Structure 1
């Protein structure tokens, strides 16, 4: 058995045995989640936590005043933003904004990979937001977070790969291991974080091309799956048109299998605005 196969099997066994080291949410995001989960919590309590982090406060205000979320009156403070947006929406947005911290490299060898992974995740997130904004009963804040976490399972694989001589220098083999494992690991991470089942399913099922969410309207997995597949256009991982035409989520979301959100004129400005929330350019 090759070294790569041993690594693959170890990751899989550690995951099944509950021994795989999984990332944890940043402290502020955890505090926000605790408050929102408290049925007696108030908007003032939540705002008081957020204002302790000036950088987060500034970014949340930027989101609150973006085209996807703003109302008729500009939001000028966190204590104004929280009741206007609602506790659940603020929790999703804060979690999304804090997620970037987890993609910071502590090792130069991983820096490029983590940067590429973060940029790809933000683009799937932005496309998910725009798609969700066109669908009834679909929250753009949930879609933003769902797009960001769709490939979160890649993180522990990369961290483990640091300790395997030669694996980081064999990108083709490492990519194969990641592709095979990251959905399962991502679902395990989100369960550990006690995320809603709808988000766990996004991590687990967004690559399942045979998935059918049923007779009801599209769900989060449909939205993220379309955004994910669109993000592969013009890359070596792009699927052929015949395969894409069989993916039910495109029909359910009402998306064109041959166009990305960015390529559709009426949606491109919203996509750019959504990317700007993470300081990313297309």
Structure 2
């Protein structure tokens, strides 16, 4: 199997809702206005309703009810509104993928996006942009299972799709890995080049000659999400921690109490529990 064979025909690509496709195109438009985006989303009543439900969730702690798409854009910002629509669209596009625990996969993806955003904010970077990358980083895995389930089945028996070593296994057996497929999809959908490059770098952000902080934040967020979803023990958490990536980012290990014996006296630095951190956004997965 070759990477190109996974995306070389239109019928092999997931059907992305029209509004989502148009929003994706806005990534490359410097002229599009908030008013245009609001009209675009409002043209889809079901999507608008879902967006308002998400915007009013506990995740955003808004000071008053978000009653319209315009309100959502003003209170959450364009990038975050687009993130919510994009995430909802990706879940819809891959809802019939066989051979995977989709509920587990999307919860992991959501946890990754939120953990990455939290870490990036703490590190002084654009957390909303990192959220986009976090929600998108695993879609190559879905594409591989949708198009080539027979080839993926033996790999799934050998190693869980969410395991930290999965990319290396795929590279060994297939000559490419899921993140490269994610990047290829992003190119086909006309995402900005820096996003598609970052997607490809997520499994091993220290290898490329040009370091992507966004990819590194998502790598670290994915580690946190994996620990939760796969229910890793404290020993497994410590053993699997991407120390070199965290060091490159300048992250103090006390953000994850299981990593530091004395972290109880630095509780203010700890990331909230993921169920708390993502509260309300699980509606995106329905």
Report if the CA contact (8 A) 1:205-1:221 is conserved: yes
Q: Does 1:114 align with 2:102?
A: yes
Please give the root-mean-square deviation of Cα atoms over the aligned residues, in Å: 3.9
Following superposition, the deviation at residue 169 of structure 1 comes to 7.2
The 1:243–1:269 alpha-carbon spacing in structure 2 relative to 1, beyond 3 Å, is closer
Tell me what 1:171 maps to: 156
Q: Does 1:254 align with 2:251?
A: yes
1:26-37 equivalence runs, <5 A: 26-34=17-25, 37=28
The 1:160–1:257 alpha-carbon spacing in structure 2 relative to 1, beyond 3 Å, is farther
5+ residue gaps, structure 1? 1-9
Report if the CA contact (8 A) 2:220-2:242 is conserved: no
The 1:30–1:260 alpha-carbon spacing in structure 2 relative to 1, beyond 3 Å, is farther
Report if the CA contact (8 A) 2:201-2:208 is conserved: no
Aligned partners of 1:35 and 1:201: how far apart in 2? 18
Aligned partners of 2:109 and 2:240: how far apart in 1? 23
Equivalent in 126, 140, 164 of residue 153 of structure 1: 140
Tell me what 2:35 maps to: 44
Equivalent in 166, 179, 185 of residue 189 of structure 1: 185
The 1:184–1:56 alpha-carbon spacing in structure 2 relative to 1, beyond 3 Å, is same
Aligned partners of 1:18 and 1:226: how far apart in 2? 32
Report if the CA contact (8 A) 1:43-1:87 is conserved: yes
1:1-282 equivalence runs, <5 A: 10-12=1-3, 14=5, 18=8, 21-34=12-25, 37-66=28-57, 69=60, 72-105=63-96, 109-110=98-99, 112-136=100-124, 138-162=125-149, 164=150, 168=153, 171-173=156-158, 179-180=170-171, 181-208=177-204, 210-211=206-207, 219-233=213-227, 234-235=231-232, 241=238, 244=241, 246-252=243-249, 254-256=251-253, 259=256, 267-268=271-272, 272-279=276-283
Following superposition, the deviation at residue 226 of structure 1 comes to 0.5
Aligned partners of 1:271 and 1:250: how far apart in 2? 26
Report if the CA contact (8 A) 1:51-1:57 is conserved: yes
Report if the CA contact (8 A) 1:230-1:260 is conserved: no
Which deviates more from structure 2 when the two are superposed, residues 199-208 or residues 185-194? 199-208
TM-score w.r.t. length of structure 1: 0.73
3-state SS of the aligned residue for 1:41?
coil
Following superposition, the deviation at residue 171 of structure 1 comes to 3.0
Aligned partners of 1:273 and 1:57: how far apart in 2? 23
